[in-house]
Structure 1
Amino acid sequence: MYIGIDLGTSSVKAVLVDEREQILAQASEALTVSRPVPTHSEQDPESWWQATLAALDRLAAEAPQAMAAVRGIGLSGQMHGATLLDAQDRVLRPCILWNDGRAAAECAEMERAWPELRAVTGNIAMPGFTAPKLLWVKRHEPIIFAATAKVLLPKAYLRLRLTGEHVEEMSDAAGTLWLDVAKRDWSDAALAATGLTRQHMPRLVEGSAPAGTLRAELQQRWSMNQAPILAGGAGDNAAGAVSLGAVRPGDAFISLGTSGVLWATTAGFAPNPGQAVHAFCHSLPRTWHQMGVILSAASCFAWLAKTLGTPEATLLKDLGNAPQRPSPILFAPYLSGERTPHNDADIRGAFIGLDHETGRPELVQAVMEGVAFALRDCLDALRAAGTRITTADVIGGGARSPLWCAIIANVLDLPLTQVLGGEVSGAFGAARLGRLAATGEDPIAVCLPPARAQAILPTASLRDSYAASYARYRKLYPGLKEIAA
């Protein structure tokens, strides 16, 4: 038996999986985000821990015998968060999250201080990454910076609470701007550029490798027969890749979670920072990947539902499962700024083309199309880096909508596949890594593709109209940037 824990932005999910990879029990505990001032986004790490305990308590209550037989635990988590601890492992301040935009000035400072940054880390400095956040803390909260003994990513903090160990794995570490991504090791030059050393960092392991054992009191709490091994785990998207079997070069998927991702597995380190493409380590040894990332995806739809005071399911009720034509309204999905390809923490969203005839259906479809157009930006950026994508799976909460998947297939002009169980893919991928750490099996033999729900093909008759809408969408960013300036 194996457990996967996925620490997301909006919830902690946990799954209990047997040897045949059947999910025996699952649980989810909600989290909240604090936005004390514009561009800031934070969470209390204690809320992660309490949610994790509650989720695992529910697994134990639902399947006590299976819980007792757990051998391995894997962790997946939101990337880039800066969790600062003192010498006694006490949290010094709320974690600064991946979608926080406060450190834009510090990004420029870091690139000036270390000109080799893009070549070594494979990425452009962005406010969402971890390292610029520490420069911001150093400048604005110098007492906290001076007291910082360890910097952990969110899931590494959970591991600390579960095992007492400071450990991180390659896929998450690659999103800090402190990792030499080709060498899969901390970069002393990167750390020096932010006033830190290796002593501030957790030790590194591969995602499928052992990274500690569960503390005795927790083993007793859940009546486990033995102390399970914890795997290195994976960043949220790398865990999704493990869940989907996207472990070979050319494998691709789209994630429609709070943020949006277009992922492509690569055989080697293949950076393209000029267009804000992420080049990271995979969670499996000797494997890397590229990502185009948009900061707001399913969160755009949640925002619209909240703003209109209408449940998300109601918004979709009258729209059907496939688009008949593009919406006459354009939506720029920059509610939290943007990464690929613009790297702009300050840009904000907009509706364009509203008139007296505009109704709720046009707005709903426009929001879905805006996210799809942003993913098309990502696809073009990956293609410019030499990556060839011919098909992709779709996972995440937004993937439950056949309409949204159909819109994306048309905008990207690619066949897509919905995946069964995609809403818990991060936790399931983490469970697979927990299994690998406990058994030492071959990752390629374990990380097989899951059952597919259905293929979604582009509609030939919509190709030209969606191409025209995308061409109009491409004019939004320069215009919004000019207005904001």
Structure 2
Amino acid sequence: MWMGIDLGTQSVRAVVASDRGEILGSGSAPLAGRRDGVRHEQQPPDWWTAVCAATRQALRDAPAPRALAICSTSGTVLLADRTGRPLTPGLMYDDGRARTEAVRARTPPAWALPKVMWLLREYGAGGDGVRVMHQADLIVARLAGHPLATDSSHALKTGYDLERDAWPHQRFEQLGLPDGLFPEVVRPGRRIGEVGRAAAEETGIPAGTLVVAGMTDGCAAQLASGSLAVGSWNSVLGTTLVLKGVTASPLVDRTGVVYNHRAPDGSWLPGGASGVGGGALTAAFPGADPARLDTLAPDHEPTAVLAYPLAARGERFPFLAPDATGFLIGEPASDAEHWAALLTGVGLVERLCLDYLDLLGAPLHGPLTLTGGAVRSDHWNRLRADILGRPVHIPQHSEPALGMAVLAAYGARATATVQEAAARMVRIRHVLRPDPARTARHTEPYLKLVDELERRGWLPARVAAHARTRTEHP
């Protein structure tokens, strides 16, 4: 039995999975945070409380796991003391207050490194013993009873050099970051500790359970999708949209829109994170019944209303535009048409992301798998397949927590490779193939969106030109 824990934006999810990928136990607990303009933070103790509730629920009727791994939101960070006690709030992945620091660090504002610099300045927590912790690191420390090594996946946006497998100490010195601030780093899937007795009493996870170094939530979803062969891609659609693929070497993007994680086996996982997604639907229709609106949407597709459905200010993929905001061009005649425009808008941005990856020379010949909360909508799955004009694979279970169960199995050396573990534990539910006629109907809205993004100065001309060329000559 293997346990995976996913620290998300709105909840914590825990699953217990068998060697064949059967989910034998699951649990979840909500998370709340503070959003105010560009501010988005959560209280780290709330993460632990939610983990305890989720794991106890997951283990209520399930056998005890042999090992576990944890994923969390990429770029979420805090400062803690040497014992792992939080000294600051957790700055979430999309907190935008570190813009000045991002200019100095030469990274996007959403990355963790400028947030670390902002926290040091804002809280004055620069004394001896202060250490950087990512969201998953805090939970790992609570499970073991003391801080453990972080993984290179979470460390990437804090400045870790994946090609050299080292922190860039000279760069940190130039930025005025003190020695000893950053934790030890290991490759995902490495055994890093065990669950202690105190944590066992709170979580229900038996003392001595092996703790394996995890990955970010986007990478975890990729493991859960089974998309681990070169040329395969996974599109994770939840609150926001994340696309990750597999390449033999890093994908070079000097703009920083696409970045590269390192897989446990040493291959590369390039990808990017957009701000569009289900969060925009929730904001536009709080408390609505998505299933009811899904039944009404097809009568309005393709809609005359053009939407760029950003969940919050700023865009990171397929272009960098810190001041970008969501928009609607045209007036929806009904809630159903508005809903259809938002669903379509996400699919159009997803298509633009794939066009951008093609511009960078990424191999796109493998299967495209859809995961994330949005796959619960059969209508949205089919709409996305039609907009993209390519088959999409839908796994039986697609949550990041399962991806961490896969990684736990690999880390405990139940399999020789993580790809072998995924092949054993991941099942594809069905494959959706696009309708060419419906794909053709979405060409005009796609080109209109490309034109509008370029007109606003957000989408670079060369990216827009490539999207148009690829549309004409797919």
* TM-score when normalising by structure 1: 0.88
Q: Does 1:342 align with 2:341?
A: no
The aligned residue for residue 230 of structure 1 is 211
Match of 1:286 among 266, 269, 280: 266
The aligned residue for residue 80 of structure 2 is 85
The aligned residue for residue 448 of structure 2 is 472
The aligned residue for residue 190 of structure 2 is 209
| Structure 2 runs not aligned, ≥5 long | 459-474
The aligned residue for residue 33 of structure 1 is 33
- Deviation (angstroms), 1:221: 5.3
Q: Which amino acid aligns with 2:334?
A: G
| CA distance, structure 1, for counterparts of residue 165 and residue 401 of structure 2 | 24
- Deviation (angstroms), 1:250: 1.2
Contact 1:296–1:333 under 8 Å retained in 2:
yes
Contact 1:340–1:377 under 8 Å retained in 2:
no
Give deviations 1:71-101, integer Å, cap 9, x for gaps. 1011111111111112443212211110111
Q: Does 1:270 align with 2:254?
A: no
Give deviations 1:172-215, integer Å, cap 9, x for gaps. 21122x11121232221343343225511121112111011111
- Deviation (angstroms), 1:275: 6.3
- Deviation (angstroms), 1:30: 0.7
Give deviations 1:267-289, integer Å, cap 9, x for gaps. 1222213261122222x131211
- Deviation (angstroms), 1:231: 0.4
Q: Does 1:367 align with 2:342?
A: yes
| CA distance, structure 2, for counterparts of residue 19 and residue 313 of structure 1 | 33
Match of 2:143 among 143, 153, 162: 162
| CA distance, structure 1, for counterparts of residue 171 and residue 227 of structure 2 | 30
The aligned runs of 1:164-183 (5 Å cut-off) are 164-176=146-158, 178-183=159-164
Contact 1:347–1:481 under 8 Å retained in 2:
no
The aligned runs of 1:26-105 (5 Å cut-off) are 26-35=26-35, 37-63=36-62, 66-67=63-64, 70-105=65-100
Q: Which amino acid aligns with 1:166?
A: L
* SS, match of residue 407 in structure 1: helix
* TM-score when normalising by structure 2: 0.90
- Deviation (angstroms), 1:312: 2.3
Contact 2:257–2:318 under 8 Å retained in 1:
yes
- Deviation (angstroms), 1:127: 0.9
**Following TM superposition, where does structure 1 have runs of at least 4 consecutive aligned residues deviating by more than 4 angstroms?**
145-148, 220-226, 478-482
| CA distance, structure 2, for counterparts of residue 413 and residue 225 of structure 1 | 48
* SS, match of residue 164 in structure 2: coil
What is the aligned-residue identity percentage? 24
Match of 2:295 among 317, 323, 326: 317
Residues 144 and 367 of structure 1, relative CA distance in 2, 3 Å threshold: same
- Deviation (angstroms), 1:225: 6.1
| CA distance, structure 2, for counterparts of residue 185 and residue 34 of structure 1 | 34
Q: Which amino acid aligns with 2:19?
A: E
Q: Which amino acid aligns with 1:458?
A: P
* SS, match of residue 124 in structure 2: helix
| CA distance, structure 2, for counterparts of residue 224 and residue 101 of structure 1 | 36
| CA distance, structure 1, for counterparts of residue 33 and residue 206 of structure 2 | 36
Q: Which amino acid aligns with 2:154?
A: D
Deviates more, 1:210-219 or 1:444-453: 444-453
* SS, match of residue 173 in structure 1: helix
Deviates more, 1:87-96 or 1:297-306: 87-96
* SS, match of residue 211 in structure 2: strand
Contact 1:393–1:417 under 8 Å retained in 2:
yes
Give deviations 1:347-396, integer Å, cap 9, x for gaps. 111111116xx111211111011111221221112111111213301001
- Deviation (angstroms), 1:223: 6.5
The aligned residue for residue 195 of structure 1 is 176
Contact 2:21–2:426 under 8 Å retained in 1:
no
* SS, match of residue 179 in structure 1: coil
Q: Which amino acid aligns with 1:95?
A: G
Q: Which amino acid aligns with 1:107?
A: A
Contact 2:283–2:311 under 8 Å retained in 1:
no
* SS, match of residue 356 in structure 2: helix
| CA distance, structure 2, for counterparts of residue 33 and residue 268 of structure 1 | 37
Deviates more, 1:5-14 or 1:163-172: 163-172
* Count of equivalent residues: 453
Contact 2:194–2:207 under 8 Å retained in 1:
no
Give deviations 1:7-64, integer Å, cap 9, x for gaps. 11111000012233321110010111211x311110111110000011112123233x
| Structure 1 runs not aligned, ≥5 long | 112-124
Contact 2:41–2:89 under 8 Å retained in 1:
yes
* SS, match of residue 60 in structure 2: helix
* SS, match of residue 34 in structure 2: coil
Residues 231 and 51 of structure 1, relative CA distance in 2, 3 Å threshold: same
| CA distance, structure 1, for counterparts of residue 311 and residue 202 of structure 2 | 42
The aligned residue for residue 379 of structure 2 is 403
Contact 1:272–1:279 under 8 Å retained in 2:
no
| CA distance, structure 1, for counterparts of residue 432 and residue 143 of structure 2 | 41
* SS, match of residue 199 in structure 1: coil
| CA distance, structure 2, for counterparts of residue 225 and residue 98 of structure 1 | 31
| CA distance, structure 2, for counterparts of residue 268 and residue 27 of structure 1 | 37
The aligned residue for residue 106 of structure 1 is 101
* SS, match of residue 458 in structure 1: coil
- Deviation (angstroms), 1:146: 4.7
Residues 218 and 272 of structure 1, relative CA distance in 2, 3 Å threshold: same
| Aligned-CA RMSD value | 2.2
Q: Does 1:431 align with 2:411?
A: no
Q: Which amino acid aligns with 1:175?
A: K
